[in-house]
C-alpha cells in the first residue's frame, strides 16, 4: 500500500513538473523548398513572455510578418495557453541555410529556440492560378536594364536606364533599392531622378505602366567583355483579390517582391593604333582646344596668365591636358586646374583648363611655342589633332639680359635659370616688426591651483564611497529595476514608432509595445492581464480622469484596427501625438 502511494505521489509531482515546463520552439512549414516558393516559420511558446527577438534570416527575405496569435482555453478545468510569432520568408538563392535562434524572456529567464536547417533547391513548377497574388505579381512586374550601346570603344560613354514595367492589374505602394550595382570596370555617374513618374509603355508588345527608377552614365576603362551588375529592387505591390468590402469594392492584397534587372554584358573595343598621334593622351569624343594669355605686353616682374583649355563632349575628367613649355627668362608656376563639367545621358560636357602664372625677368620678346592636343572622334572613328598658334610675349620695361647673372643648373644640362628681379613690395605680406611682450615668472608651488589639486583627491574619496553605496542599493532594488527597465522600453518603442511614421504595420506594432510596457511600469501588471476592461478598472482605481482613460483605450483599439484596415500618414501622426499627450497626462494624474 505504501509502495502504491509512493508511486502515485511521484507520478503527480512529475506530471506537475511537465505541465509547468516552459516550451519555446521554432516550426517551419517545410524543410525543403524551391527558390520560387515561400517558407512559413512559427515561433511558438506555451507561456506568455516579453521582449521577443527574431533571428537573422540569412539567405531569406522577410515578405510577411511578424504576425502574432494567442490561444487561451480551458478544458476540464485545465488552462491551455499558446502564443505564436509567424514569419513568411522568400529565399534569395539556392543552398543550405539555417533558421537561427529566436529569444524571449519568460518569468525572468531567457529562452532560445533550436536552429532549424532548411534546404533551398532550384525553382519548382507551380500551378498557374490567375487569381493567385504571387502569380499576378510574377507576370505583371518586370525590371529591365536598357543599355544604349553594346559594343562601345574604350572611354566611350554609354547609358544604362533601369525601367520597371507594371501590369495594369496591379499597383505599387512602395519602391526601394535593395542592392545597387558596383561598376568596378567603369567610371560611373548616377543621374539624379528627383521624382518617380508613371508613364505609358510597352513590354513584349503588351501595354504596361512604366517607371524609370535609375539612370547611370558609364565610361568603360578596360577592353574586352565587361559585365554590368544587376540592380535589385524591393517592391510592395497591391494586387486585387476575390474578396470585397461591404460596399462591393474589391479588396487588395499587399505582396512584397524582389525584382532584378539581370546581368548585362558589353564588348568594349580598343582604340585603333593606326593614325594615333604622339600627343594623344586618351581623349575620346568631340572637343575644341585653345591656348590663350590674358596679356601679351607687360613689364618685368609683372605677371601674366596662360590658359590651356579643352571644351566639348566626351571623357573630360579622364585624360590629362598637354603641358605648357616657356622659354628661359619666364618664371613658370604650377598650374591651377579647373573643371566645369556636367554629366547627363549624353555623357560629360563642359570645359577643363590649366591656368599657368608666368613672370618675366627682363625685357625682350618671348615666344610661347605651339601646343598640340589630339582626340579620338567617335563619329568619324578617326584621330583629330589641334595645334595652337604661337604667342609672343613682349616685355617692354625691365633689366636687360646682361644685367642678370645666370646660374647653371645641376644634372649636366645646359639649361640656365635666371635670378628673379624683385620689387620693393613683393614681400609686403611678411611682418618685419614684432610686438612681443615679456612673460612674468610665476611659480605653481603654494598657489591656489596647487592646494586645490592637492586636496581634491582627498575630498573625492568619501564622494566615491557615497555614490558607490547608492549604486549598490539601486542594483539590489529588483522591483525598481523592473519598473525602470519597462519605462525605458516604453520610451524606446515610442521613439521606434516615430521612426516608422508612414509604415503602417511597423508603426502600430511599435506603438502597441510602447503602451504595454508603459502599463507594466506604472501598474505592475503582466502581458496576460492586459485586457481593456482590466486596464480600465486599474486606471480608474488610480484616479485617472475619464477623458484620459478613453483616449488611452482608444489608442489600444487603433493599434488593433490598424492590422485590418488601411491608415493614412496623417492618422498615424495624430495617434503618435495623442500617445505622447496621454502618457504625459496619466503620469501627472497618477
- 247 lies in the same domain as 154: yes
Is residue 154 assigned to a domain? Answer: yes
Provide the domain count of the chain.
Answer: 4
Find the CATH number of the domain harbouring 516: 1.20.120.330
- 116 lies in the same domain as 140: no
Mean pLDDT of the chain: 80
- 320 lies in the same domain as 374: yes
CA nearest to 140, candidates 248, 237, 284, 249: 237
Is residue 388 assigned to a domain? Answer: yes
pLDDT of residue 413: 40
pLDDT of residue 343: 92
Is residue 204 assigned to a domain? Answer: yes
pLDDT of residue 419: 45
- 506 lies in the same domain as 572: yes
Is residue 424 assigned to a domain? Answer: no
Whole domain around residue 498: which residue ranges? Answer: 479-589
- Taking 80 as the threshold, does the pLDDT of residue 142 lie above it? yes
- 254 lies in the same domain as 364: no
Instruction: Find the mean pLDDT for residues 456-469.
Output: 82
pLDDT band of 462, cuts 50, 70, 90: confident
- 108 lies in the same domain as 137: no
Asked if 562 and 508 count as a contact pair (C-beta separation under 8 A), the reply is: yes
Find the CATH number of the domain harbouring 293: 2.60.40
- 114 lies in the same domain as 138: no
- 47 lies in the same domain as 165: no
- 319 lies in the same domain as 230: no
Instruction: Compute the chain's Rg from CA coordinates.
Output: 39
Find the CATH number of the domain harbouring 91: 2.60.40.740
Q: Which residue has the cell 516550426?
A: 27
**Cα–Cα separations (whole angstroms), residue 577 to 92, 172, 449:** 39, 29, 52
- 217 lies in the same domain as 337: no
Is residue 160 assigned to a domain? Answer: yes
Is residue 569 assigned to a domain? Answer: yes
pLDDT band of 491, cuts 50, 70, 90: low
- 263 lies in the same domain as 137: yes
Asked if 385 and 399 count as a contact pair (C-beta separation under 8 A), the reply is: no
Q: Please tell me which residue, 118 or 136, carries the higher pLDDT value.
A: 118
Instruction: Give the cell for residue 411.
Output: 644634372
pLDDT band of 38, cuts 50, 70, 90: confident
- 262 lies in the same domain as 139: yes
Which of 388, 417, 446 is the last residue in one of the domains? 417
Amino acid at each position: 500500500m505504501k509502495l502504491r502511494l509512493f508511486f502515485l505521489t511521484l507520478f503527480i509531482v512529475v506530471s506537475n513538473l511537465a505541465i509547468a515546463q516552459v516550451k519555446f520552439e521554432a516550426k517551419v512549414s517545410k524543410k525543403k523548398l524551391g527558390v520560387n516558393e515561400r517558407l512559413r516559420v512559427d515561433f511558438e511558446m506555451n507561456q506568455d513572455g516579453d521582449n521577443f527577438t527574431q533571428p537573422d534570416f540569412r539567405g531569406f527575405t522577410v515578405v510577411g510578418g511578424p504576425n502574432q496569435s494567442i490561444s487561451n482555453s480551458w478544458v476540464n478545468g485545465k488552462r491551455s495557453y499558446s502564443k505564436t510569432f509567424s514569419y513568411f520568408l522568400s529565399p534569395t538563392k539556392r543552398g543550405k541555410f539555417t533558421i537561427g535562434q529566436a529569444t524571449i524572456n519568460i518569468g525572468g529567464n531567457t529562452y532560445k529556440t533550436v536552429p532549424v536547417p532548411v534546404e533551398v533547391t532550384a525553382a519548382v513548377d507551380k500551378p498557374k492560378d490567375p487569381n493567385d497574388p504571387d502569380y499576378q505579381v510574377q507576370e505583371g512586374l518586370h525590371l529591365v536594364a536598357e543599355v544604349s550601346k553594346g559594343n562601345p570603344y574604350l572611354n566611350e560613354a554609354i547609358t544604362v536606364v533601369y525601367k520597371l514595367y507594371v501590369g495594369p492589374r496591379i499597383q505599387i505602394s512602395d519602391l526601394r533599392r535593395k542592392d545597387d550595382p558596383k561598376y568596378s570596370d567603369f567610371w560611373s555617374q548616377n543621374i539624379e531622378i528627383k521624382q518617380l513618374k508613371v508613364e505609358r509603355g510597352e513590354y513584349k508588345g503588351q501595354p504596361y505602366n512604366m517607371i524609370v527608377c535609375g539612370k547611370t552614365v558609364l565610361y568603360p576603362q578596360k577592353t574586352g567583355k565587361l559585365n554590368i551588375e544587376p540592380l535589385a529592387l524591393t517592391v510592395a505591390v497591391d494586387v486585387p483579390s476575390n474578396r470585397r468590402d461591404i460596399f462591393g469594392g474589391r479588396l487588395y492584397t499587399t505582396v512584397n517582391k524582389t525584382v532584378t534587372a539581370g546581368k548585362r554584358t558589353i564588348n568594349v573595343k580598343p582604340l585603333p593604333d593606326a593614325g594615333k598621334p604622339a600627343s594623344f593622351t586618351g581623349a575620346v569624343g568631340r572637343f575644341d582646344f585653345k591656348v590663350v594669355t590674358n596679356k601679351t605686353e607687360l613689364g618685368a616682374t609683372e605677371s601674366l596668365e596662360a590658359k590651356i583649355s579643352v571644351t566639348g563632349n566626351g571623357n573630360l575628367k579622364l585624360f590629362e591636358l598637354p603641358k605648357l613649355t616657356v622659354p628661359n627668362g619666364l618664371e613658370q608656376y604650377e598650374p591651377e586646374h579647373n573643371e566645369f563639367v556636367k554629366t547627363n545621358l549624353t555623357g560629360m560636357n563642359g570645359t577643363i583648363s590649366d591656368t599657368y602664372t608666368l613672370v618675366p625677368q627682363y625685357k625682350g620678346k618671348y615666344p610661347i611655342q605651339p601646343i598640340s592636343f589630339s582626340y579620338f572622334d567617335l563619329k568619324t572613328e578617326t584621330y583629330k589633332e589641334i595645334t595652337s598658334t604661337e604667342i609672343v610675349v613682349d616685355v617692354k620695361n625691365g633689366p636687360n639680359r646682361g644685367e642678370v647673372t645666370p646660374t647653371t643648373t645641376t644634372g649636366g644640362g645646359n639649361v640656365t635659370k635666371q635670378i628673379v628681379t624683385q620689387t620693393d613690395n613683393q614681400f609686403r605680406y611678411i611682418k618685419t616688426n614684432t610686438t612681443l611682450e615679456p612673460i612674468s615668472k610665476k611659480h605653481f608651488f603654494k598657489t591656489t591651483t596647487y592646494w586645490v589639486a592637492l586636496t581634491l583627491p582627498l575630498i573625492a574619496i568619501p564622494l566615491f564611497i557615497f555614490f558607490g553605496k547608492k549604486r549598490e542599493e539601486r542594483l539590489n532594488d529588483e522591483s525598481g529595476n523592473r519598473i525602470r527597465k519597462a519605462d525605458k522600453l516604453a520610451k524606446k518603442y515610442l521613439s521606434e514608432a516615430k521612426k516608422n511614421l508612414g509604415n503602417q504595420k511597423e508603426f502600430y506594432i511599435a506603438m502597441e509595445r510602447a503602451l504595454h510596457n508603459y502599463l507594466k511600469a506604472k501598474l505592475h501588471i503582466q502581458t496576460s492581464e492586459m485586457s481593456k476592461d482590466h486596464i480600465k478598472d486599474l486606471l480608474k482605481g488610480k484616479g485617472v480622469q475619464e477623458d484620459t482613460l478613453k483616449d488611452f483605450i482608444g489608442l489600444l483599439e487603433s493599434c488593433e484596427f490598424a492590422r485590418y484596415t488601411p491608415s493614412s500618414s496623417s492618422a498615424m501622426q495624430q495617434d503618435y501625438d495623442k500617445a505622447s499627450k496621454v502618457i504625459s497626462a496619466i503620469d501627472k494624474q497618477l
